[in-house]
Amino acid sequence: MRVVIIGPAYPLRGGLATYNERLARAFHDVGDEVRLVTFSLQYPSFLFPGQTQFSTEKAPQDLQIEVSINSVSLVSWWRVGNRLRREKPDLVVFRFWLPFMGPSLGTIARLITRNRHTRVVAITDNVIPHERRPGDRPLTRYFLAACHGFVTMSRSVLADLRRLHFNQPARYQPHPLYDNFGPLKSKSAALQALNLSPDFQYILFFGFIRAYKGLDLLLEAFADERLSVLPVKLIIAGEFYEPAAPYDTLIQQYKVEERLVRATDFIPNERVADYFCAADLVVQPYKNATQSGVSQIAYHFERPMLVTNVGGLSELIPDGEVGYVTKAQPKAIADALVDFYQNQREEQFTAGVREYKKQFSWSEMVTALKAVAS
């Protein structure tokens, strides 16, 4: 089968690009011919909250990546769509995560399907975005209406599709493991790589920082006096995608500065293993969510997790087996953290993670995408 994946990929950086590149390898592993088509311009600079959209790492040598889509250029959409229409790939997989991408990806999809051969499916991270803006719904509908089928990585997104009355074939398939950040390493080696003291234990908050991810809730929870007497520090590893000043104010208010490890730049792929393997527990205190790639990195590195009971996060985290599912409230988060350390749960939950991670297969994602395309 000839497959094209359309979405972020090198030279763009971040979780979406990492996922799409790993998915391309999964298609290749089952014998398909695959290439990625990515953006020459993903976001105009005034819409991008981070430091840079582009990777500083070496280009992957095992993947065919075409850089050709300008998200704000109608000429680019027509050029890419019409070329793929003529080429007639068997399957085109779109990665859809933001209404802003609806016009470009929806137009390209419509042009491709004029050949009456290519099947177009989408991995829909969100159909109702975390941070809503006027016009989100019509932009999203424009893209979704152009697709033959969908795969969602949380049941809540699948339910959102049905609420929007899109009845094309759709399937829930859990986010596969992020197994491309290298092998596990010992905690002592990871701590040494990060120049962290082995006299402390470490909680990890990982990923770019936005309001819906609840770092403010975690900071308040971490200020709990029961935790303040434990030899535990909180690692904040990820780039701010909004002003840092409100978080600095909270850190001073809660008097937790001395108990933090700040790594608030973009974390390159080669350093991801160090942060996860240094941690006892990975915490995702989100206020709303659909699914999270952070969970799948934690599964790969066999780290227990704490997630809040929002969106689809709890679908992949059996409470009391691989970690905790709590309310999105500081007291509930603090209670779980205290239980984890006072009752020494790390070994128990790590064993659960090792067993539960076996179900998250990239080959199953490939199977799901082909199934909704047929």
Tell me which H or E stretch contains 56.
none
Residue 370: inside a domain, yes or no?
Answer: no
Residue 179: inside a domain, yes or no?
Answer: no
Mean pLDDT of 290-311: 91
Assign residue 263 the CATH number of its domain: 3.40.50.2000
pLDDT at 290: 67
Using CA atoms, how far apart are residues 347 and 364, in angstroms rounded to an integer? 29
**Amino acid code (one letter) for 124:** T
Using CA atoms, how far apart are residues 294 and 101, in angstroms rounded to an integer? 23
Tell me which H or E stretch contains 359.
none
Assign residue 12 the CATH number of its domain: 3.40.50.11930
Pairing relationship of beta strands 232-237 and 201-206 according to DSSP bridges? parallel
Mean pLDDT of 351-359: 93
Pairing relationship of beta strands 201-206 and 65-70 according to DSSP bridges? unpaired
pLDDT at 46: 57
- Give the residue from 119, 143, 172 where a domain finishes: 172
Residue 254: inside a domain, yes or no?
Answer: yes
The conformation of residue 269, written as its DSSP 8-state character, comes to H
**Residue 163, class by beta-carbon neighbours within 10 Å (0-12 exposed, 13-18 middle, 19+ buried)?**
exposed
**Is the same domain home to 272 and 348?**
yes
Say yes or no to pLDDT of 367 above 80: yes
Using CA atoms, how far apart are residues 82 and 239, in angstroms rounded to an integer? 37
Q: What is the pLDDT of residues 131-160, one digit of tens each?
A: 677 788 899 999 999 999 999 998 889 999
Mean pLDDT of 182-187: 95
Residue 373: inside a domain, yes or no?
Answer: no
pLDDT at 199: 97
H-type alpha helices, 180-268: 187-193, 215-222, 225-228, 245-254
Residue entry with tokens 């303040």: 228
Counting the structural domains of the chain, the total is 2
Query: CA torsion angle for 81, 83, 87, 93 (degrees, to 10)?
Result: -30
**Number of alpha carbons in the 13 Å side-chain half-sphere of residue 77:** 16
Residue 156's domain spans which residues?
Answer: 2-172
pLDDT at 94: 98
**Is the same domain home to 143 and 16?**
yes
**Is the same domain home to 227 and 274?**
yes
Give the SS3 label for residue 118: coil
**Is the same domain home to 197 and 269?**
yes
Task: Pull the structure tokens for residue 184.
Answer: 């596990």
**Is the same domain home to 343 and 207?**
yes
Mean pLDDT of 106-135: 90
Cα first-last separation, the chain: 13
Mean pLDDT of 222-226: 96
Give the SS3 label for residue 61: coil
Residue 180: inside a domain, yes or no?
Answer: no
pLDDT at 303: 98
- Give the residue from 142, 172, 202 where a domain finishes: 172
Using CA atoms, how far apart are residues 187 and 273, in angstroms rounded to an integer? 10
**Is the same domain home to 148 and 201?**
no
Using CA atoms, how far apart are residues 280 and 305, in angstroms rounded to an integer? 9
Residue 372: inside a domain, yes or no?
Answer: no
Query: CA torsion angle for 349, 350, 354, 359 (degrees, to 10)?
Result: 40
Tell me which H or E stretch contains 9.
none
Mean pLDDT of 56-66: 89
Mean pLDDT of 346-362: 94
Residue 365: inside a domain, yes or no?
Answer: no
Mean pLDDT of 74-90: 98
Q: Considering the chain, what percentage of its residues have pLDDT values greater than 70?
A: 95
**Amino acid code (one letter) for 219:** L
Question: 302 near 327, Cβ under 8 Å?
Answer: no
pLDDT at 133: 74
Say yes or no to pLDDT of 47 above 80: no
Say yes or no to pLDDT of 327 above 70: yes
